[in-house]
Structure 1
Amino acid sequence: MKLCVIPARGGSKRIPRKNIKEFCGQPIIAYSIQAARKTGLFDHIVVSTDDDEIAEIARSYGAETPFRRPAEISDDHTGTNAVVKHAILWFQENGTPVDLVCCIYATAPFVQEDYLQLGHDKLIQSDKSFAFSVTSFPFPIQRALKITQNGGLSAFYPEFRSTRSQDLEDAYHDAGQFYWGSAKAFLQEHELFSNQSLPILLPRHLVQDIDTPEDWIRAEYMYKAIHSSI
């Protein structure tokens, strides 16, 4: 069985009610549900939440909410893996074995079914534990600066200050959209950022982390720009 898990707890301090806040015309969680449904890959698309309003909205867009997320994995410090493990175990304890799982974040309005499909295909064709979305940094990380205690600037990597940009190794970061993995890998808590994971490379214009009001505004501008040209 292939399971999609969308974590969406009710508490959000920096952007209140973030997971169901309206984003370009619909609750932001709707984009993740819709992308998952368009793939046709999943036997169950589940929103894991501790919040009745989120659950109701999730069901209205075609997701399932077969359980309420326990309070002990609904606080600020709970990691994604604990939420996914809980969902896998719930299905298994209710008589439905799980083979593959894809966790899609609720605040990922740029997630696309083609990349979800690509992640699925690359994972099942490999012997890896995970396949997840990454994108490249727009500027060489070797040229990163820090502000010192006296208000000045210092290089994180002074050894690269004279190296040409084109000679520096490309660097990538987690795009924060989706994470494919075997149920076994999630349950056994395999290391995500390791050689046991495959990168699904996204273009930078399809990636925006949404943690602050400023992020939200930028994401809406990006979404409108992309869809105005389609």
Structure 2
Amino acid sequence: MNIAVIPARGGSKRIPRKNIKLFHSKPIIAYSIECALASGCFDRIIVSTDDAEIADIARQYGAEVPFMRPAELADDYCGTLDVMAHAVSTFETMDMATAHICCIYPTAPLLLPEDLQRGEQILRSHAQIQYVFSAVAFGFPVQRAIYLNNEQEVSMFQPEHAKTRSQDLLESYHDAGQFYWGRGQAFLEKQPFFAPHSRIVELPALRVRDIDTPIDWEIAEFFYERLHPRHD
């Protein structure tokens, strides 16, 4: 059984009620639910939340909320793996087989169904793969990154690459913060995402924006408008 888990707590601080804030006229969590439904990858789509209003909205858009997340797993310090391990252990008590699970963040309006489909295909391609997650290439070589000391003097993190040609530097990627396909046991054991047992689905930069601040929100809406132009 393939299960999508959308973790959506109610206590976001920098953007209050972020997971159900209106994004182009509908709650932002609706995009993740609708994307999961459109992908055809999942037998069940479940929202893990501690918040009754989020639960109600999730159900309106086609997700299930068969359990409420305990308060100790809904604070600012609880990580994704903790929430996912709780979900998988809860599924076991409900006699739900969880071979393949996909954690989809509730603030991923730029995610497409085919991204989820590609992730599932990669996960199924080899038994050694434990996770497949979305990632994007850095726009500038990280080997050329600089920092400032207390006197605001400039230094390179890797000065040995000061004269290395860009085309000779290894390309680097970062987590796109949209989804994590994984095997149920890997989530249950809280195996790390960033390890040799993982693979990526590379996304274009125009479809990646981590939404943590109001400015992030505005940029994500701009990206969405570019990708989904309205014809009035």
Aligning the two structures, in what range does the TM-score lie when normalised by the shorter sequence?
over 0.9
Quick one: which amino acid aligns to residue 164 of structure 2? T
2:143 paired residue number = 142
Alignment partner of 1:120 is 2:88: no
Distance of 2:74 and 2:89 partners within structure 1: 17
CA root-mean-square deviation: 1.3
Distance of 1:60 and 1:152 partners within structure 2: 54
Give the TM-score taking structure 2 as reference length: 0.96
1:87 paired residue number = 87
Q: Kindly state the Cα deviation for residue 152 of structure 1 after the two structures are TM-superposed.
A: 2.6
2:71 paired residue number = 71
1:156 paired residue number = 157
1:22 paired residue number = 22
Distance of 2:228 and 2:153 partners within structure 1: 42
SS at match of 1:133: strand
Q: Kindly state the Cα deviation for residue 20 of structure 1 after the two structures are TM-superposed.
A: 0.6
1:14-62 per-residue CA deviation (whole Å, 9 max, x = no partner) reads 1111111111121111110000000122111011000111111111100
* Mean CA deviation greater in 80-89 or 207-216: 80-89
Give the TM-score taking structure 1 as reference length: 0.97
2:199 paired residue number = 198
1:36-91 per-residue CA deviation (whole Å, 9 max, x = no partner) reads 00012211101100011111111110011111100111111111111111111212
Q: Kindly state the Cα deviation for residue 191 of structure 1 after the two structures are TM-superposed.
A: 2.1
Quick one: which amino acid aligns to residue 149 of structure 1? N
Distance of 1:225 and 1:94 partners within structure 2: 42
1:178 paired residue number = 179
2:111 paired residue number = 111
Distance of 2:226 and 2:31 partners within structure 1: 17
1:144-185 per-residue CA deviation (whole Å, 9 max, x = no partner) reads 111220123221111111122222111000110100001011
1:118-150 per-residue CA deviation (whole Å, 9 max, x = no partner) reads 100110111211111111000111111112201
* Mean CA deviation greater in 84-93 or 135-144: 84-93
Quick one: which amino acid aligns to residue 190 of structure 2? E
**Greater than 2 Å deviation, 4+ residue runs:** none
Residue 41 of structure 2 contacts residue 116 of structure 2 at CA under 8 Å; is this kept in 1? no
* Mean CA deviation greater in 146-155 or 24-33: 146-155
SS at match of 1:177: strand
Quick one: which amino acid aligns to residue 55 of structure 1? A
Could you list the runs of 5+ residues in structure 2 that have no partner in the other structure?
none
Distance of 2:182 and 2:126 partners within structure 1: 11
Distance of 2:194 and 2:92 partners within structure 1: 26
SS at match of 1:191: coil
Distance of 1:210 and 1:201 partners within structure 2: 19
Q: Kindly state the Cα deviation for residue 99 of structure 1 after the two structures are TM-superposed.
A: 1.1
Q: Kindly state the Cα deviation for residue 188 of structure 1 after the two structures are TM-superposed.
A: 1.6
2:97 paired residue number = 97
Distance of 1:121 and 1:89 partners within structure 2: 25
Quick one: which amino acid aligns to residue 191 of structure 2? H
User: Percent of aligned positions with the same letter in both sequences?
Assistant: 51
SS at match of 1:228: coil
2:40 paired residue number = 40
Distance of 2:120 and 2:203 partners within structure 1: 15
Residue 85 of structure 2 contacts residue 189 of structure 2 at CA under 8 Å; is this kept in 1? no
1:188 paired residue number = 189
Q: Kindly state the Cα deviation for residue 229 of structure 1 after the two structures are TM-superposed.
A: 8.0
SS at match of 2:228: helix
1:228 paired residue number = 229
